[in-house]
């Protein structure tokens, strides 16, 4: 369903904003969109209400503890969903059923069934959906141009290394004999201060589930071939919270794709000491006529100075228009009837790959992607 809004910006309701708020900030920064209200369910816990209120105050917009009423009262056209991960799909479905287009934070869900509900709701109601991603980073755009131009011929293989050099609480092995296991949600709430709360929610999630969407979205864009079967190895190698909650912080996945394309993914939250910046993130592509080796972080500028805080990145990404281009893509989809760069069905398929990989990590066998 295309929709012209004339010169007026689209009115956006923020449906819960409990993480570091990069998604609603990016929406607000684009001239075609404006945030009009923050909303959540009345029974949400206090810490959720506090964060929602704080964000609403930052933008000088109301916070309403009733999602459906907020949407009606503010005549919202777009929902921006940035809740705890296990509520993502439910909020998206409720928004779609009220006729709102949806921008949803990652991960789409830990459950393919939940994603299927979103696909159905979006298709039934004729609304657009975009799962937040990094496919408009300069290096990804560049890679896509090279591949699509045919310079390396027919695609044979694609490999993505996606290491986040961040810590996530106490290191593995640090728990004393009388210490209780780390509570996942409490750890994630605490992690809000340093922005490492990507897995915020009641249900523990491994790196594959939290961040896997980014590299798999690269593969979706660059290879354009469905992933049919996976084989994975997973482990909790770095962080006590992951050990205590039996979720991975390091994983490798072999991807068997449509048309005989071979792929792989290495992903991990490998600790701040393991890289001077956010992490080694690389893409390797092999084609019938050549290969491409690409660093996802470039272009960047190195900055060093006396007294530099140890945690500050020495290399700063530059010319990064990812947020703007995602929102422009969403606006174009609203007005031009085309799909978004990562729509509900693509997001659902990525969730299915992650689910199969987690299953394979436990079974020790290759698993079919549903």
Residues of this chain that interact with other proteins (CB under 8 A) are 156-157, 159, 161, 163, 165, 171-172, 231, 233, 235-238, 250, 252, 254, 256, 260, 262, 264, 266, 268, 270-271, 273-275, 280, 282, 284, 286, 288-291, 293, 295, 364-366
DSSP tally for the chain: helices H, then strands E:
12, 15
- The least distance separating other proteins from the CB of residue 187, rounded to whole angstroms, comes to 19
- The least distance separating other proteins from the CB of residue 191, rounded to whole angstroms, comes to 20
- The least distance separating other proteins from the CB of residue 263, rounded to whole angstroms, comes to 9
Nearer to other proteins, 23 or 165 (CB): 165
**What is the per-residue burial (b if ≥16 Cβ within 10 Å, else e) of 283-311?**
bebbbeeeebebebbeebeeeeeeeeeee
Nearer to other proteins, 163 or 218 (CB): 163
Nearer to other proteins, 336 or 366 (CB): 366
Residue 4, Cβ neighbours under 10 Å: how many?
9
d(CA 327, CA 35): 13
Between the alpha carbon of residue 35 and those of residues 28, 80, 246, the distances in Å are 6, 9, 38
| β-pair partners for 339 | none
- What is the DSSP code (8-state) at residue 171? B
- The least distance separating other proteins from the CB of residue 316, rounded to whole angstroms, comes to 19
Nearer to other proteins, 24 or 271 (CB): 271
Helix axes 88-97, 112-125, angle to 10 degrees: 10
Nearer to other proteins, 110 or 268 (CB): 268
- The least distance separating other proteins from the CB of residue 238, rounded to whole angstroms, comes to 6
Instruction: Answer yes or no: are the C-beta atoms of 274 and 288 closer than 8 Å.
Output: no
Please enumerate in sequence order all residues whose Cβ is within 8 A of that of 184, keeping only pairs 6 or more positions apart, or say none.
199, 201, 202, 203, 204, 241, 245
- The least distance separating other proteins from the CB of residue 359, rounded to whole angstroms, comes to 13
Nearer to other proteins, 129 or 238 (CB): 238
- The least distance separating other proteins from the CB of residue 260, rounded to whole angstroms, comes to 6
Instruction: Answer yes or no: are the C-beta atoms of 258 and 291 closer than 8 Å.
Output: no
**What is the per-residue burial (b if ≥16 Cβ within 10 Å, else e) of 92-128?**
bbbbbebebbbbbbbbbbbebebbbbbbebbeebebb
- The least distance separating other proteins from the CB of residue 270, rounded to whole angstroms, comes to 5
Task: Report helix, strand or coil for 266.
Answer: strand
């Amino acid at each position: 369903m295309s929709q012209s809004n004339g010169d007026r910006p689209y009115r956006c309701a923020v449906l819960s904003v409990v993480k570091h708020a990069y998604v609603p900030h990016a929406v607000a920064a684009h001239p075609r969109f404006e945030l009009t209200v923050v909303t959540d369910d009345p029974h949400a816990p206090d810490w959720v209400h506090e964060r929602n209120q704080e964000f609403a105050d930052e933008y000088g917009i109301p916070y309403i503890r009733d999602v459906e009423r907020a949407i009606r009262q503010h005549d919202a056209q777009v929902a921006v969903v940035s809740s705890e991960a296990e509520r993502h799909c439910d909020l998206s479905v409720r928004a779609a059923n009220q006729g709102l287009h949806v921008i949803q934070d990652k991960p789409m869900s830990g459950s393919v069934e939940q994603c299927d509900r979103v696909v159905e709701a979006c298709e039934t109601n004729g609304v657009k959906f975009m799962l937040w991603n990094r496919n408009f980073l300069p290096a990804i755009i560049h890679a896509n141009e090279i591949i699509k131009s045919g310079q390396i011929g027919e695609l044979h293989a694609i490999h993505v290394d996606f290491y986040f050099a961040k810590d996530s609480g106490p290191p593995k092995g640090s728990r004393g004999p009388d210490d209780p296991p780390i509570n996942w949600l409490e750890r994630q709430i605490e992690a809000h201060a340093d922005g490492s709360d990507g897995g915020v929610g009641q249900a523990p999630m491994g790196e594959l589930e939290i961040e896997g969407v980014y590299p798999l979205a690269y593969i979706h864009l660059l290879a354009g071939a469905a992933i049919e079967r996976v084989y994975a190895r997973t482990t909790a190698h770095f962080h006590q919270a992951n050990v205590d909650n039996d979720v991975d912080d390091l994983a490798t996945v072999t991807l068997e794709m449509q048309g005989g394309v071979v792929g792989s993914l290495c992903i991990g939250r490998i600790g701040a000491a393991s890289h001077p910046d956010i992490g080694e993130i690389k893409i390797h592509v092999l084609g019938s006529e050549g290969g491409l080796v690409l660093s996802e972080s470039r272009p960047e500028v190195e900055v060093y100075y006396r007294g530099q805080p140890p945690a500050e990145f020495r290399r700063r990404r530059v010319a990064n228009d990812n947020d703007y281009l995602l929102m422009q893509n969403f606006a174009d989809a609203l007005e031009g009837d085309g799909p978004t760069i990562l729509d509900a069905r693509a997001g659902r398929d990525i969730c299915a790959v992650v689910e199969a990989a987690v299953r394979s990590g436990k079974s020790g066998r290759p698993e079919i992607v549903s």
